[in-house]
Chains A and B, each alone.
Chain A
Amino acid sequence: RKEVEQDPGPFNVPEGATVAFNCTYSNSASQSFFWYRQDCRKEPKLLMSVYSSGNEDGRFTAQLNRASQYISLLIRDSKLSDSATYLCAVDGGFQKLVFGTGTRLLVSP
């Protein structure tokens, strides 16, 4: 089993739609969790850190479920500019991030 697993997609949604991604992780000792956004051939940019009680930033909501060992990202009112790959990253201990393969999102007019 991979340490961090994501559905690679692509998720094709129309503008204005709500879309959700899940990410499962295997290390129950992980203490910090992150969502990054990556545009084609660019570096990952931090979207959200995920806290135990969940985290919301505008149209984006992240949740953590420790019992089932997954984190989720919800995007409401999708914009064309949200088209990107969304990377889930999990604490691998001592400043090491373990990434999933990413979920590709395509928002169409």
Chain B
Amino acid sequence: DAGVTQSPTHLIKTRGQHVTLRCSPISGHKSVSWYQQVLGQGPQFIFQYYEKEERGRGNFPDRFSARQFPNYSSELNVNALLLGDSALYLCASSSRTSGASTDTQYFGPGTRLTVL
């Protein structure tokens, strides 16, 4: 079975531009989460989506937005890019969506964004 897929794998943008990153979850998984990982740090939670609704949001500015489609794939959008947005953007999918605790999440290969 295919794992989580993400596109593109690498991206170079300049300050002020916007970017759209895409993610397809594992077949049968309905929950998608987005994380940002800067060099030397662990991944930081950005968003969680289930059934096209935002279910969780991390401490990121409004320049970051996302959405989920009926087929459970997802897009992460970042506007007005800053140098500090350079990072590995990871998408994770999980099968369980309800309940207060966090189910096992499986990560895609990530999109490496460089902002010049």
Interface residues of A (CB under 8 A from B): 4, 30-32, 34, 36, 41-46, 49, 87, 89, 91-102
Query: By the criterion CB–CB under 8 Å, are B42 and A102 in contact?
Result: yes
Query: By the criterion CB–CB under 8 Å, are B45 and A98 in contact?
Result: yes
How many A-B residue pairs have C-beta atoms within 8 angstroms? Tell me: 82
Interface residues of B (CB under 8 A from A): 31, 33, 35, 40-45, 48, 50, 55-56, 58, 88, 90, 92, 94, 96-97, 100-110, 112
Contact of B43 among A49, A93, A97 (CB under 8 A): A97
Query: By the criterion CB–CB under 8 Å, are B94 and A95 in contact?
Result: yes
Query: By the criterion CB–CB under 8 Å, are B90 and A96 in contact?
Result: no
Q: Which residue of chain B lies nearest to A87 when distances are taken between CB atoms in the complex?
A: B42
Q: List 27 A-B residue pairs with CB atoms under 8 Å apart, sorted by A's residue number.
A: A30-B101, A32-B101, A32-B103, A34-B104, A34-B105, A41-B88, A42-B110, A43-B90, A43-B108, A44-B90, A46-B105, A87-B42, A92-B45, A94-B48, A94-B100, A94-B102, A95-B55, A95-B94, A95-B96, A95-B102, A96-B33, A96-B45, A96-B102, A99-B35, A99-B44, A100-B42, A102-B41
Query: By the criterion CB–CB under 8 Å, are B42 and A46 in contact?
Result: no
- The distance in angstroms between the C-alpha atoms of A91 and B31, with both chains bound, is 15
Contact of A93 among B35, B92, B102, B104 (CB under 8 A): B102
